[in-house]
A and B are shown apart, each in its own frame.
Chain A
Amino acid sequence: MNDALLELSKVSKIYGDLHALDEVDLTVGRGEWVSIVGPSGSGKTTMMNIIGCMDHPTSGTVVLDNRDISEFSSFDLTQVRRETIGLIFQQFHLIPHLTAIENVMVSQYYHSMPDEQEARNALERVGLGDRATHLPRQLSGGEQQRVCVARALINSPKIVLADEPTGNLDANNEHIVLDIFGELHDEGTTLIVVTHDATVAAKAQREIRLDHGKVVEEIIHNDAPQVSSVLKEEK
């Protein structure tokens, strides 16, 4: 089995004359924590869409969990997304008329079978066991983001994609969320985090800088958390 969970080979996404991604090559190992940085319009979101199975590349191949998803239909991409990926958004995107626990269960609903106890455990893990029945508007920004993290984790995804996860959080909540990411990483969850925040980017093992649709820089952070022991044993 290939140790790489994700492999992008010469992936391009072209809109008319605009090359949102231009022959990008990227490999992310299982259990790795990678951050993607770059200015607006650099292609971060386009890359996230392709990795997140929400868009097709114009050219190149995308292999996720040993499956080439480049030519998958929308229906198949939905299946892969449901089974493999957990998503965390900058704007949280919680369903406003559902409670925290129901928001977590929605992810279970589309994946398999809602389980209230599992959802409650996921909320307790992010420190929101006592806020399970609160509606999103009754939660702070940090709490909402933690619900979003619980929702992303509930189906035990192989890869977690986070788009500016701390972009709307204060320093304290940012710290809490990054701690949770650290725990996930320690448990062997693969993390890809898109961020503008240098602090957040520095938490990753590897930092990929995009500009004009190309990978222009790759930085290895030696002080970042190393690959989890579980992963090391597998290797």
Chain B
Amino acid sequence: MRRKLFWRMVISSILRRRSRVLVAMLAVAIGATTLSGLATITIDVPRQMAREMRASGANMVLLPTGTNTSFSPTVIDEVTADIPRDQLIGVLGIDYEAVIINEMPYVAAGTDLNAAKATNPYWYVDGEWPSDAGQVLLGRDIATTIDAKAGDQVTLAVLADQSQGAASSRSSAQPSTPDDHGGSSDHSDHGSSDHSDHGSSDHSDHGSSDHSDHGSADSGQPNPEQENTGPAKNDDGKVISDQPVGNAAPNAGTQVTLTVSGILETGSSEDGFVYLWTKDMTSLTGTNPVVTVAELSVSAESNQLQELADQINAGHPEIHAQPVARLAHSDANILNMLRSLMVIITVIVLALIMIGVSTTMMAVVTERRTEIGLRKALGADNRSIVTEFLGEAVVLGMVGGIGGAGAGYGLAQLISLNVFHRTVMLHVEILLVTVAASVIVSTLASFIPVHRAVEVDPALVLRGE
């Protein structure tokens, strides 16, 4: 009966001051909405964000281990089979080879260009992406050097020492399943014949060049005038070809003529590369498709990515998986910044709620001074007064919190749908934490008003105030 009367007093007190309490309840509800919404987004959206950010390029590379310069494309299939489908955004196996264009050495990347486009959507192409074999994407730097534009024909020749090098080094990494592009095309005869004709002819000149001098290799576009004779590397310091492009000479017999479909501009090392279909690359090299580097775009945070790399390395000794630290850390930093931002916003919102609730409760205490005095005159001690006011604060926080938590989920859903075009999950724990936080905040906010309440002099009821 005592408890029943207590809640009867609390509820009726709230209902009697509907408009005033409604304002405080609304403040709590808005805070709870923000808290619940941001918490849902903070927990759920980083996964979405990670996927979106993966569109900015690969965040893991697979490189051959030991003395191998390449590995079979089937290894990529094996690796990707172990990665959860929803985490794997894209995968790209690339065969980097040194080629000669207009008697100048460059790096050619033979790959599935559809996959390259999907993995690197931010790449700008002046013209069209190559739609089929026979078409090539020319880096901006090369296009400028050779004065080529979309629609022009370019002739790529394989380096003289490469045919021999490829023949020897790839003997241990022959693909068991040829690439889809590898078996067809009229370039195959051309490629293989050239390869057999010239593969060994220039080997004596260049085949023994210093592969060990990797440390002095420069990154970016190969330059015919540089003295560097080490392997080509990209901006990340990643070895993309073991061919000594700096002082290489063309093998006049191994060449293909391709049509430039577009000029690639990335502002990075890709501007110095030639991108061609795997089929054209095999025609040029005269070998089965191989992969010198595989780029993976995985939706995972920095530590998860490292775990995945360790897992791949343990299961596939022929390759070395390595997260691209720059991108992985960048992703993590962005997500951490977003989380920090949301925490700051949440703290500010909670502080504002406290002010709102506190102000309202203060007004309620002022309004109820006589009633408080009466209760004390009737024998209420300070603890009873505190309990009653905190009871009101708990109800206020509870109702506002429940409403706000639900609205917060709706808000998060709305934001996620509009921004990420995906739905968010309902996290029951977030709803519970939101309601608890609302109750705690409204209770804390009531401490000062309650302190005022217990100071009310019971004698005021006899003074007729």
Is the CB–CB distance between A113 and B461 below 8 Å?
no
Task: Collect the chain B residues with CB atoms within 8 Å of residue A93's CB.
Answer: 370-371, 374, 461
- A22-30, A45-53, A175-183 - interface stretch: A45-53
Q: Is the interface of B mostly helix, strand, loop or mixed?
A: helix
**In this complex, what residue of B is CB-closest to A106?**
B378
| Other-chain contact of A54, B15, B370, B457 (Cβ < 8 Å) | B457
Interface residues in B413-465 (C-beta closer than 8 Å to A):
457-459, 461-464
Decide yes or no: A116 and B1 within 8 Å by CB, A89-B461, A97-B15 being known contacts: yes
Task: Collect the chain B residues with CB atoms within 8 Å of residue A89's CB.
Answer: 461-462
Q: How far is the CB of A32 from chain B (nearest CB, A)?
A: 21
> Total interface residues on B, using CB and 8 Å?
30
Q: How long is the Cα–Cα vector from A54 to B462 in the complex, in angstroms?
A: 10
**In this complex, what residue of B is CB-closest to A151?**
B378
Task: Collect the chain B residues with CB atoms within 8 Å of residue A141's CB.
Answer: none
Task: Collect the chain A residues with CB atoms within 8 Å of residue B12's CB.
Answer: 97-98
Is the CB–CB distance between A52 and B377 below 8 Å?
yes
Q: How long is the Cα–Cα vector from A49 to B463 in the complex, in angstroms?
A: 9
Q: How long is the Cα–Cα vector from A81 to B380 in the complex, in angstroms?
A: 10
Q: How far is the CB of B238 from chain A (nearest CB, A)?
A: 75
B81 at the interface (CB under 8 A from A): no
Contact mask A96-140 → B, CB, 8 Å, 1/0? Answer: 111000100111011101111000000000000000000000000
Decide yes or no: A54 and B13 within 8 Å by CB, A87-B378, A102-B5 being known contacts: no
Is the CB–CB distance between B1 and A114 below 8 Å?
yes
B85 at the interface (CB under 8 A from A): no
Q: How long is the Cα–Cα vector from A95 to B9 in the complex, in angstroms?
A: 10
Q: How long is the Cα–Cα vector from A159 to B381 in the complex, in angstroms?
A: 20
Interface residues in B1-48 (C-beta closer than 8 Å to A):
1-2, 4-6, 8-9, 12-13, 15-16
Is the CB–CB distance between B377 and A113 below 8 Å?
no
| Other-chain contact of A90, B15, B380, B464 (Cβ < 8 Å) | B464
Task: Collect the chain B residues with CB atoms within 8 Å of residue A82's CB.
Answer: 378-379
Decide yes or no: A49 and B462 within 8 Å by CB, A54-B457, A106-B9, A114-B1 being known contacts: yes
Task: Collect the chain B residues with CB atoms within 8 Å of residue A54's CB.
Answer: 377, 457-459, 462
Interface residues on A, range: 20 to 34
| Other-chain contact of B462, A106, A115, A163 (Cβ < 8 Å) | A163
Is the CB–CB distance between B379 and A110 below 8 Å?
yes
Is the CB–CB distance between A109 and B2 below 8 Å?
yes
Task: Collect the chain A residues with CB atoms within 8 Å of residue B8's CB.
Answer: 98, 102
A15 at the interface (CB under 8 A from B): no
Q: How far is the CB of B96 from chain A (nearest CB, A)?
A: 81
Is the CB–CB distance between A113 and B379 below 8 Å?
no
Is the CB–CB distance between B13 and A97 below 8 Å?
yes
Is the CB–CB distance between B9 and A98 below 8 Å?
yes
Q: How long is the Cα–Cα vector from A113 to B9 in the complex, in angstroms?
A: 15
| Interchain residue pairs A-B with the least CB separation, the first 9 | A82-B379, A97-B16, A110-B379, A54-B459, A97-B12, A49-B459, A93-B374, A114-B1, A110-B380
Q: Jot down 9 A-B pairs with beta carbons below 8 A, ordered by A.
A: A49-B459, A54-B457, A54-B458, A75-B381, A75-B382, A91-B464, A93-B371, A98-B8, A110-B381
